[in-house]
Amino acid sequence: MFSGLSALVIEDVADGGETVQVSARTRHVPVPCPLCGVLTGRAHGYHGRTVRDVPVDGRQVVVRVRIRRLVCPVRDCGRQTLREQVPGLLERHQRRTTRLTGRLSELVKELCGRASARLTRSLAMPVSHASALRLLRRVPLPAVRIPRVIGVDDFALRRRHSYATIIIDAEAGRRIEVLPGREAATLEAWLRGHPGIEAVCRDGSATYAEAIRRALPDAIQISDCWHPWHNLAEAVRKEVAAHSICWAKARPPPAEGRQAATTRERRQQVHALRERGVGLLECARRLNLALNTVKRYDRIAEPERLGDHQRERIEAARTACQETTALADLIHGFAALLDVDAALTLPHHKGGTEGVNNKTKLIKRQMYGRASFPLLRHRILLG
């Protein structure tokens, strides 16, 4: 029950109702002086420390420890007396054991301030929301190695007002850094301070492209297939609108049936969830569909398996205008080019960065209006 207190000698355990009170003392063994390192076991006096430990049977555990004040045997040492420490159990100036602090740290990493404070009360290890934030700030960031391939993307701190830049390891999916702002100079300065990067996965941002060209002229810039498709769709929409008079004269195709509309809507819902990293089983649960149905929709791509009414509509638009016919041929050729992976893409992609951004949105909502950028950065990098 008290295996975590094995470094101490437990003298008494009392039932205090909602708390379990433990009386203990340190073991009578020599300890090194923190200044000169000489071992000493000569006691000058004693003092008490009261700390909380992990709960037992849903009740708080309060440990009262008698600590020795020792005398350093070296006369020339700057420390005449020293308070005994218990490594791995008690830390200086702390009123919690190390293992209780570890459990609380894992909790605040996921829930942050007020939410974690509410949960800790039901877990019999209560802390205030301010203490939860202090614990979160003290959690050390993991050491990361700058990889060969990174992913770069921006996210909104306050939409249309302020943004930040996130950098991840594109191969392992680990978060590396969060930079304030999304200006080219900010990213360029960071890239110059971290040489050795061979490739950067990014979106269509011209700002990031310029920063990468200036800082890493030999690095490969990788853009996902989605971004060329998105840019092409925007250009095609403008071109079709410019020729609306031509194709509007064409014979209108028959109306789309309900079954076809439902099929298209479900396919779009499945693909939208899959792009956010949702698994097939979870997609089936959210959409209330059979797993095999979700798998079938997931395999269907946008350029293939068109219905008869869709083919008639496309054919009518093509024959109504020569420019539209030429545009449709170019789009089909471009689609065939994208189907060949070796022709346009590399093994790396920006999907990991998009996944991290989705998790970042959840973190922002939990801390909305209260977290400063350093705290938000700290929590994002903790993962």
Q: What does CATH list as the number for 149-224?
A: 3.30.420.10
What number is the average pLDDT over the span 76-94? 86
CA distance 100 to 39: 29
Q: What is the pLDDT of residue 60?
A: 93
What is the torsional sign of CA 314, 318, 324, 328? positive
Asked whether residue 341 carries a pLDDT value surpassing 60, the answer given is no
Asked whether residue 342 carries a pLDDT value surpassing 50, the answer given is no
Angstrom distances, CA of residue 337 to CA of 225, 279, 341: 11, 28, 8
Q: What is the pLDDT of residue 14?
A: 92
| Confidence class for position 338, pLDDT limits 50, 70, 90 | low
Q: Which residues have CB under 8 Å from 5's CB, separation 6+? A: 22, 24, 53, 63, 89, 97
Q: What is the pLDDT of residue 150?
A: 92
Higher model confidence: residue 342 or residue 66? 66
Domain range list for the chain: 1-91, 96-140, 149-224, 226-344
| Confidence class for position 343, pLDDT limits 50, 70, 90 | very low
CA distance 152 to 207: 11
pLDDT-wise least confident of 116-125, 283-292, 304-313: 304-313
The percent of residues in the chain predicted with pLDDT above 70, rounded, is: 88
CA distance 154 to 160: 12
Would you say the pTM of this structure is higher than 0.75?
Answer: no
Q: What is the pLDDT of residue 248?
A: 63
| Confidence class for position 13, pLDDT limits 50, 70, 90 | very high
What number is the average pLDDT over the span 261-283? 87
What number is the average pLDDT over the span 205-210? 88
What number is the average pLDDT over the span 165-176? 90
What number is the average pLDDT over the span 346-375? 80
Q: What is the pLDDT of residue 190?
A: 94
Q: What is the pLDDT of residue 139?
A: 92
| Confidence class for position 229, pLDDT limits 50, 70, 90 | confident
